[in-house]
């Protein structure tokens, strides 16, 4: 049996188009999760939304982990799980706090700069050489963010809350860039189900430390949306992992930017949000920068939803 046939039998990929379509479906599911999360954050706040989602996801991932073959993680791996969970917790809190204060499309557009931060963090933490394409990509991304911010300042009545939301989303992208670096180390030491379990468990434990002061009982009418958010999140992560195991990143990365289209559609349908031309122009520049970066180092330009 040839190596090509062995690889095909292991991955199960029969056509490059199938992983691309599956990845696009994953992006759609995760975009729906973002819209549902925004509703929950507006209703009960970002802390309680993330806390309860992490707890429900821990139960689901724990059941999957217990049902299959598993091994006890070492202390070093547990430390890595805990470190990444702390970073992911910051990403979730900052991103969804900002999402509640911004139009969905604007928040998603700003979040696209995360792969650019990952490139520079890889150079800083892993000693990788920054290529010329990465510099041009970063300049395009910075210009895109500047255009989106200029659009906010140019509105007849811009709010300080929206600017704080923008700052929160940008902070989340910086930490998400570091999260990508940790994800690579983690993927070499643990299986996806284990990662999902311990990531959600550690996030729940970390946030639970403040539960006596901040936690609220979730109203009965929000349990179904919370369950929906958890299902969308886990299904999107699974489909994304399936796709990235069967096709090169450079073919799948462009599907991430379909999230912007879904954000525009879902924001308009559920929240009556209008998209300014500056948001469209800025997002296009950011996407262009990410595609340039992907050509320079596609393995670092992974979607946010793949690991959150």
Give CA–CA dist 109/292, Å, rounded: 16
Q: Does pLDDT of 172 surpass 90?
A: yes
pLDDT at 294 over 70: no
What mean pLDDT is predicted for residues 194-216? Answer: 91
Mean pLDDT, the chain, as a whole number? 80
The whole-number pLDDT of residue 73 equals 84
pLDDT (0 to 100) of residue 305: 43
Identify which has the larger pLDDT, 95 or 110.
95
At 210-253, the pLDDT tens digits run 999 999 998 999 999 999 998 998 888 778 777 766 776 656 66
Question: For residue 188, what are its two tokens?
Answer: 């070499």
Under the banding of pLDDT at 50, 70 and 90, the label for residue 154 is low
Above 70 in pLDDT, residue 156? no
Query: Of the given ranges (51-55, 96-100, 188-192, 245-249), which has the lowest mean pLDDT?
Result: 245-249
The model's confidence at residue 2, banded by pLDDT at 50, 70 and 90, is: very low
Kindly calculate the radius of gyration of the chain based on its CA atoms and give it in whole angstroms. Answer: 19
The residue ranking higher by pLDDT, 11 or 142, is 142
| 65 pLDDT higher than 80 | yes
For residues 56-64, average pLDDT = 90
pLDDT at 6 over 50: no
The reported pLDDT for the residue numbered 126 is 65
Decide: 19 and 197 in contact? Cβ < 8 Å: no
- Residue with the bigger pLDDT between 303 and 57: it is 57
Q: What is the DSSP string of the chain?
A: --HHHHHHHHH--S-THHHHHHHHHHHHHHHHHHHHHHHHHHHH-HHHHHHHHHHHHHHHHHHHHHHS---PPPHHHHHHHHHHHHHHHHHHHHHHHHHTTS-HHHHHHHHTTHHHHHHHHHHHHH-PPPPHHHHHHHHHHHHHHHHHHHHHHTSTT--HHHHHHHHHHHHHHHHHHHHHHHHHHHHTTS-HHHHHHHHHHHHHHHHHTTHHHH--PPPGGGHHHHHHHHHHHHHHHHHHHHHHTTS-HHHHGGGGGHHHHHHHHHHHHHH-----HHHHHHHHHHHHHHHHHHHH-GGG---GGGT-
Average pLDDT in the 17-21 region?
A: 82
């Amino acid at each position: 049996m040839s190596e090509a046939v062995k690889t095909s039998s292991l991955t199960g990929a029969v056509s490059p188009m199938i992983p691309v379509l599956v990845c696009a479906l994953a992006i759609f599911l995760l975009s729906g999760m973002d819209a549902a999360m925004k509703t929950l954050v507006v209703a009960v706040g970002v802390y309680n939304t993330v806390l309860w989602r992490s707890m429900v996801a821990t139960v689901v991932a724990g059941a999957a982990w217990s049902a299959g073959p598993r091994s006890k993680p070492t202390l070093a791996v547990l430390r890595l799980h805990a470190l990444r969970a702390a970073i992911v917790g910051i990403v979730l809190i900052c991103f969804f706090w900002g999402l509640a204060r911004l139009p969905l499309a604007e928040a998603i557009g700003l979040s696209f700069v995360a792969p650019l931060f990952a490139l520079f963090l890889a150079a800083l933490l892993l000693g990788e050489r920054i290529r010329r394409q990465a510099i041009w990509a970063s300049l395009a991304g910075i210009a895109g963010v500047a255009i989106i911010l200029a659009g906010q300042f140019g509105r007849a009545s811009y709010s300080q809350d929206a600017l704080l939301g923008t700052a929160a989303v940008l902070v989340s992208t910086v930490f998400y860039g570091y999260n990508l670096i940790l994800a690579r180390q983690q993927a070499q030491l643990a299986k996806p189900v284990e990662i999902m379990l311990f990531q959600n468990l550690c996030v729940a434990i970390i946030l639970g430390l403040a539960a006596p002061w901040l936690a609220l009982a979730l109203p009965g009418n929000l349990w179904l949306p919370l369950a929906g958010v958890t299902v969308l999140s886990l299904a999107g992560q699974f489909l994304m992992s399936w796709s990235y195991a069967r096709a090169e990143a450079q073919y799948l990365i462009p599907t991430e930017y379909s999230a912007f289209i879904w954000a525009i559609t879902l924001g308009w349908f559920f929240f009556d949000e209008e998209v300014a031309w500056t948001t469209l122009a800025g997002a296009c520049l950011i996407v262009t920068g990410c595609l340039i970066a992907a050509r320079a180092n596609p393995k670092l330009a992974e979607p946010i939803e793949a690991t959150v």
